[in-house]
A and B are shown apart, each in its own frame.
Chain A
Amino acid sequence: MNLTVKQRVGLELQRSLRRTQEQLHPLKTLFWECTLRCNMNCRHCGSDCKVAPAVKDMPAEDFLRVIDTITPHVDPHKTFIIFTGGEALLRDDLEQVGLELYRREYPWGVVTNGFLLDEKRLASLMASGMHSITVSIDGFEEQHNWIRRHPQSFEKASAAIKLLAQQKDLLWDVVTCVNPRSYPQLKEFKEYLISLGVPAWRLFSIFPMGRAANDPDLQLTDEQYRGLLNFIKDSRENDPRIDASYSCEGFLGPYEQRVRNHFFYCRSGVEVASIRCDGAISGCTSVRSHMDQGNIYKDDFWDVWQNRFQTMRDRSWAKKGQCKDCKVWRYCEGSGLHLYDDDGDLLVCHYHRIKSN
């Protein structure tokens, strides 16, 4: 399977679009890593977070102070703020922060493992203006509890999803990290999610970072990886009951626009920023700390966003190693930044995985 003429035309347009976006760098998404505390101990955790982490939760007023410096420069209606962690719902002041964002007219959302999302908590989040919520569930009970290392995690995540399915006026979806244990049951698991009322399902493959870096059992083989993409492609073409899509990572060659609603383009530092628990300013939260661009306790966030981030907006430095002579470089530009190690080397190339037969 090769790129079609139509795909190439679209990719060229996307490339031009990316160039203008790099110059405009509109801040569309801001992640707040509001805690590194977590009530689980997931095998695939990219944050490598802990029950009692070394970094304390960022005080809410510190984050809101940054928001107030950003507000004059952005249209709050077009800047989406996402609370992530750790497990964001472990913070009991999340609703207060959310309400403050709501008053400033920012849409905001939460990414959660669902463990603490009961009826009361959901009502209180909704009453604080929550706009969206994402629940992680990685497979059926056996696979999910294995990867989460918690015996009740599946039951709680399923209960949270059932609650969300009853809500109106809320944007929500489910994310699944596909691994060799859950891969064989993808079809059945999709039926399960549909039975719970899930409208949208994002599927990830686990990238070698955090704890997953040292666990080869979590990585799909190249054949399984292609199988995952074919599964999503087939679902999108033939099953309107659920909007399945692949995550944002990596250029996928012939699968472009077939497994996602959009062409690949790493938005980290171009449209997406994050404020980590320790105050670090970065692009996407999954990008390693050596790419941090500043710190809210030392720098002005907006000044950093406007004047730094060059390494994320100009990816020419990534044209090395396996990317140096790659024929799809112009469309990929070095894949997702979260796939780079501390030395700035690409850990995994999805395009090569697809091409390897």
Chain B
Amino acid sequence: MRIKFLKAKNWLLLALMGLLGFSSCTKMMYDCPPDEYRGYNDSVVDKP
């Protein structure tokens, strides 16, 4: 329950920051992972 509350609060804060034009994600490769997994590389030979 506590985790759900914290996640909801997190989401709200991020939404509010976004509305005010602030980014909260670094968009830097090793400070923040991509928002979405970019999927498998086509070049990978051994696909799972």
B30 engages A109 (CB within 8 Å) = yes
Chain B residue with Cβ nearest A271: B32
The count of chain B contact residues (Cβ–Cβ below 8 Å) is 34
**Assembled-state Cα–Cα distance A99/B27 (Å):** 24
- The 0/1 profile, CB within 8 Å of B marked 1, for residues 201-243 of chain A is 0100000000000000000000000000000000000000000
Question: Could you say which of B3, B9, B29, B36 has the most chain A C-beta atoms within 10 Å of its C-beta?
Answer: B29
* Chain A interface size range: 35 or more
B32 engages A102 (CB within 8 Å) = no
Is A29 among interface residues, defined by CB-CB distance under 8 A?
Answer: yes
Query: For B13, what are the chain A residues with a Cβ–Cβ distance below 8 Å?
Result: 13, 16-17, 20
A13 engages B32 (CB within 8 Å) = no
With contact pairs A102-B48, A171-B38 given, residues A261 and B28 touching in the complex (Cβ less than 8 Å): yes
Q: Across the A-B interface, how many residue pairs have beta carbons closer than 8 Å?
A: 120
Chain A residue with Cβ nearest B36: A77
List A residues 107-127 near B (Cβ within 8 Å).
107, 109, 111, 123, 126-127
With contact pairs A14-B17, A24-B7, A128-B44 given, residues A262 and B38 touching in the complex (Cβ less than 8 Å): no
Is A82 among interface residues, defined by CB-CB distance under 8 A?
Answer: yes
**Assembled-state Cα–Cα distance A127/B41 (Å):** 8
B22 engages A79 (CB within 8 Å) = no
Smallest CB–CB gap between A261 and chain B, Å?
5
Chain A residue with Cβ nearest B48: A103
- The 0/1 profile, CB within 8 Å of A marked 1, for residues 20-46 of chain B is 101111111111111011101111111
A129 engages B3 (CB within 8 Å) = no
Identify whether the interface residues of A are mostly helix, strand, loop, or mixed: mixed
Is A134 among interface residues, defined by CB-CB distance under 8 A?
Answer: yes
Is A245 among interface residues, defined by CB-CB distance under 8 A?
Answer: yes
With contact pairs A17-B10, A99-B46 given, residues A29 and B32 touching in the complex (Cβ less than 8 Å): yes
List B residues 4-23 near A (Cβ within 8 Å).
6-7, 9-10, 13-14, 16-17, 20, 22-23
Query: For B22, what are the chain A residues with a Cβ–Cβ distance below 8 Å?
Result: 10, 13-14, 257, 263
Chain B residue with Cβ nearest A28: B33
Chain A residue with Cβ nearest B13: A17
**Assembled-state Cα–Cα distance A262/B38 (Å):** 22
A134 engages B29 (CB within 8 Å) = yes
**Assembled-state Cα–Cα distance A28/B22 (Å):** 20
A102 engages B44 (CB within 8 Å) = yes
Is A80 among interface residues, defined by CB-CB distance under 8 A?
Answer: yes
- The 0/1 profile, CB within 8 Å of B marked 1, for residues 116-155 of chain A is 0000000100111111101000000000000000000000
Chain A residue with Cβ nearest B42: A169
Q: Which 8 A-B pairs have the closest CB atoms?
A: A77-B37, A80-B33, A10-B22, A103-B48, A17-B13, A126-B43, A261-B27, A82-B30
**Could you tell me which B residues sit within 8 Å of A by CB distance?**
3, 6-7, 9-10, 13-14, 16-17, 20, 22-34, 36-38, 40-46, 48
**Could you tell me which A residues sit within 8 Å of B by CB distance?**
6, 9-10, 13-14, 16-17, 20-21, 23-24, 28-29, 31, 77-80, 82, 99, 102-103, 105, 107, 109, 111, 123, 126-132, 134, 169-173, 202, 245, 248, 257, 260-263, 267, 271-272
